[in-house]
Structure formats: structure tokens, C-alpha cells
Amino acid sequence: MKTDLAGKVAWVTGASSGLGHRFAQVLAAEGATVAISARRAERLEALAAEIAAAGGRAVCVPLDMADIAAIAPAAAQIEKALGPIDILVNNAGLSRQARLEDFTEADYDAVLTVNLKAAFFAGQAAARQMIAHKRPGRIVNIASVAGFRALGGQAPYSMSKSGLIALTRCMAREWGRHGINANAICPGYISTEIGGDFFETEAGQKLIAALPRRRMGEPRDLDGLLLLLCSGEASRFINGAAMVADDGMMAI
């Protein structure tokens, strides 16, 4: 697919590993200058070096998304260094595993803060730049099929992703008139660090065996959707969508 990302400034959160790492590489390969954020600065530096070696450009903006007060200053830092943000990929996320009756308030707050509250304020910070500079923009929120169905032992995670889908629609409704499109990608099971070692366990293997093609996805399986939703022209009529990429998981 032909993209129009050359010269754009893209901010990817949760870029130190997994999907965020891949997203940053893909956007940089298409000509965007990428601001990469995460807690682990050393991993960001390694990623920036990989992107530079491939001919792209990335700037490290270390950021703990649980620190809500630090989000707007990080966005301002990006604007000062690179210019206004054109694309935001709200990818940072975490999960906690427990039965409903066993969840602690601390674990509940950790999941909802990073997965939903931080996405709200990162979107706000990016949109304020887009609106102030009268520049059309793209916001891509990384949700999950868990936003549509209950996953056992992950109530706060499912709640946060359902909320993120609702937030995406609110962004689309309120910011569409400014030329800002907001959409969500809702992956099924993708092999990333956030899944930890669960999928290597007997329970994890049984879950994979129940999937239509008895396999997990890989980060590269989301490349096409990401590029579609970040492209100004290709996604011009796609706004407020929650697009599922799950290899048929929702069909079972």
C-alpha cells in the first residue's frame, strides 16, 4: 500500500518491546520521524539505533505512562525537537492476571491508569498540537478483542480495552471536525512480551489449540492495519472504527 507518511512526526508509546517496537520500525521505514516512549531508556536507545541503521530517524522520549503528569511535557518535548505531532500510536499497556475476587486495588489502578487514563491524556496532548497548528492528524489506539469479550482472569484489562474503544469513538466524534481521525486496532493473541510465559504453559497451549488456525499472531501481522490507519489519504473516511485483527478468534 502506498503511504504518505514521509515527513510526518509519529509518537509511539510503549515502544521498548512487542508491538510498539514493531510499530516504530514500520512507521520509520515509511519515512516518518518517530518519537519513541517507554520506561526502559536503554531499550529505546537500542531501537533508535536499529531505526537509524535502517535509514530512518527516531528520537527517544523516556516516559512512564503511569505518571500522568509527565505526559503533556513529553508531548511538548517532541514538538520542540521535531515539530507538531501528526500521528499518535497509543500502544503502552499492561495486564494483571487474577480472579475477580482476588484483584487488589493497586493492580486494578495500575491496569486502568496505563491502558486507559494515559491513553486519554496522550491523545489530548497530541490533539492539542494538531488543533493549534491546524494540521490533520491520526490517532491509533491499540485496544484488543478483550474489549469485546470477557477474558478469564483479566477483568480490569478487558474493562480498560472496552473503555479504550469507547474513548476512540469519543475522539472521532469531537476531533473529526479538526481533521483528526481516531481509530482502534483490536488484536487477538499476538506473541509479545506482555503475554509473558503464559502461552508456553499447558493452559496457554490449550488456548492456542482452540483457535481457528491453532496459532498466535506475530507483530508483523498488524503492519497493514497500522499503515492504513496512519495514512492521511488511505484512511480519510475511516474514523471511530474498532478494527479487529484476530485470525478468526472472535468467531469461536
Would you please indicate which residues are annotated as catalytic (active-site) residues? 157
Tell me whether residue 79 is exposed, middle or buried, using C-beta atoms within 10 angstroms of its C-beta: 0 to 12, 13 to 18, 19 or more.
buried
Q: Which residues pair with 58 in a beta bridge?
A: 34
Give the CA-trace dihedral at 245, 176, 79, 44, to 10 degrees. -10
* Cβ(227)–Cβ(233) below 8 Å: no
168 and 238 Cβ atoms separated by less than 8 Å: no
Q: Crossing angle for the helix pair 155-175 and 105-112, nearest 10 degrees? A: 30
DSSP code at position 190: B
The partner residues of 140 in beta bridges, in order of sequence, read: 89, 183
Q: What region does 231 belong to: left with phi over 0, alpha with psi -120 to 50, or beta?
A: beta
Q: How far apart are CA 252 and CA 237, in angstroms?
A: 30
- DSSP symbol at 192: S
Q: Is 36 helix (H, G, I), strand (E, B) or coil?
A: strand
